Structure 1
Amino acid sequence: MEGMQFNVLKMVVSKWYDDNRSLTMLKVLFRDHVAIGKLATINDTMDLLNDLFKSSQLTPSDLTILGETINLTKHYALQERIKSTFQLFPDVREGTVSIKFTPHRQRLMKFGMALTPKDVTLIDGLYNTPLKRYADAWIMINDLEDQLKIKEGDMKEFQQMLETLNLRLALNALKEDISGTSSAFGIPSTSSVLVPSPTPTLQVPEAYQMPKMDRLQFNQLLGDVSTWWKRYGNVNMLKVILSEFKVISVVLMEEKSEPRSLFELLKGSGLISEADVDVIIETVILGGQSGVELKIKESIPTFPGLNTVEITKFSNHRQNLLEFGKVIDGSNKERIGYLFGLYVPELKDQWSLIFQLEKGLILTEDSHVKQAFVKKLNDNGMVAEAKALNTFP
């Protein structure tokens, strides 16, 4: 594999895991391969892959660790994305033997995937006073490894704690026998290296361009997304997302109670049109409403799917606000509201809180304002909320 092809491969893999918010998972997986101090400074998947390349654990002639990563993280759709560029990339199959990751590391991956947000809260309460309010299971596992609560070869006490909390699925994952006899990724069992097939033609996919729609298609798209959002989404979250665009009056947005009326504000301001619906498509992704994809394909048969769309219309600040909202629980919503002088009875949910924080210029993109806000959260023990605001640097 030539240098440029290898760089493209790293780019495809990096973008996939970053888009799927999986860096914290990868940090657990690669804890035995990357120095702990270095791991703590890594902010995106490309940095991680480059560190593996630097230590010769991932090279153009040996992609074994990449194949095993896809297998252990269960991101099998990434294989298809890679094959769209490198058709001869070997098949990654579930159940193949890992030669790069220890049985303990593999069990931790299964353990993390078995945990629910409620499980994470229970374990957090068992080990931390005050609660650290971990943003996800992987951050918790990494922290417990730092504290030596999770330690290879000495898991008896931790397993007993899981037994006490009655977390059977998670406990079973930690006790699972890691064994097998199948060869690695379609390569004969005498080989331990995932070697790329003869160099394929480099095919870098171009970004998908949404075709121009006629008025009927455009209105159908608005109607489908609005109806879906009203049924499955949160209109206050939609207001937070669309607050990205300062051309829309905050007062106008505040008085709207239906998704369709909010999307009409986009149309009125020229942010969307028959020739440009990127904002509405990206809004669907940011709002977690990807289930509407099939409805979109009914209106636009050529639309290949939401996984081809890149977020380009929304800032890192906006995406940080969404991560912030996802980790705020009911009690902390009220605490934050009182802390910053908001009228708490009017805050129906965490998205209403964020909308009011932005409206009052209490939380803005300005680095000084944001730092002061984050510091106040940390000072009051809301570590997960503070951390979420720095998800996207």
Structure 2
Amino acid sequence: MAKVLKKDQDKFRGDLYRLNRVYKGEKCRWLRCLLFDYVSISTLTRKDVTAFDLFDEVKLKGHIKHNEVKLLSEIVKLTNVQYAKRIIRKYTDRVKKRGNGLSPYRKALFRAMMEVIPGDFRKLQSFYKLKFCCLYDKWDLVLHLEKHEQLNSTEEKIKTFADNISSSKAKQILSSLGRFTYRDNSQSTSSRTEQANLVTAVDAPPALEELTDKDFRKMLIQTSNWYQNNNKITMLRLLFNDKIQDQTECKDVMSLFKKLRESGELSHTNYRVLIDMVKVTDTRGIVHDVKLLGDANKDTEIMSFKPYRQQLMRFGEALSTIDAQAVGCMCSIEDNYTDQWSLIMLLEKKNKISPSNVEQFIKDLNDINLDHAAKHFKI
């Protein structure tokens, strides 16, 4: 049995080398875009990085294996490289496509970039003030924007990006990821139908059931009671810290929800922020008591919170009481916090941690042996 396993693993590694020969030049830059969520920035930005380097890092992190090829299968299907399809087909014919895959945002971004016309590279470069950066094509530009969080899965940043490209197909694909819509009145009916099919192809979150005002208010009461009773108020304050600027009046969970309603983030027609809240905080136990939050158990992309905010939440989950004390001491914050969540909010307030200095923060965490917490930040 061990010999068979070793043979399968060696064969899988050999197939990764064969895929490496296929994904060269621009095709390797395609992979940098598609694997952004799985590969470290230091690897992605290496000038000499190869497809095998990317696949090997993903393999080492356990996202692909000889019997878990879902991620590779989705990449090959999306890029439509025939020889790569033949390599992967022998796996998909006999192995269940298990493991991680590509997010709806990642699929849509790739499809949209394939439609972007050459002139848009200069247009985007000018808008994002990147004229003097070492960017050689649209794929380098997207990598740069994602690295610096100028482009991610949040609706605002997708819309800003879409507004600065000319391709109507690319705009339509990206618009499927948010509530904004793009309409080209010059299109024929058949063209509009074709683009509608493209939108459907992107795995956007399903539409939520529209609630009556009474049912919506019941859901808010049930949800706030659950988080309040489980002592999650400071955790939610951190989660919504970038959505609710002034939290001084928010003494309980319902007060947070009230602020979200006032800002337009939450309503009876759109309560996805609550669905995503459950996912980000990994508190799916609430679904047993609040049935209307059942969509939190579905495997759809989190759209309501920035990747950095999600990283902060995972970081907080990884901190024990002793770990939090160590971080507070390191950052000269030794009191005025009640738990790890309020500590992280203080770190943000005092600019001890932010997207711009997260690399140094990771190094500092590693220096005090908090590697298990540092790994939740992606650079």
TM-score (norm 2): 0.50
TM-score (norm 1): 0.48
Greater RCO, CA 8 A, separation 6+? 1
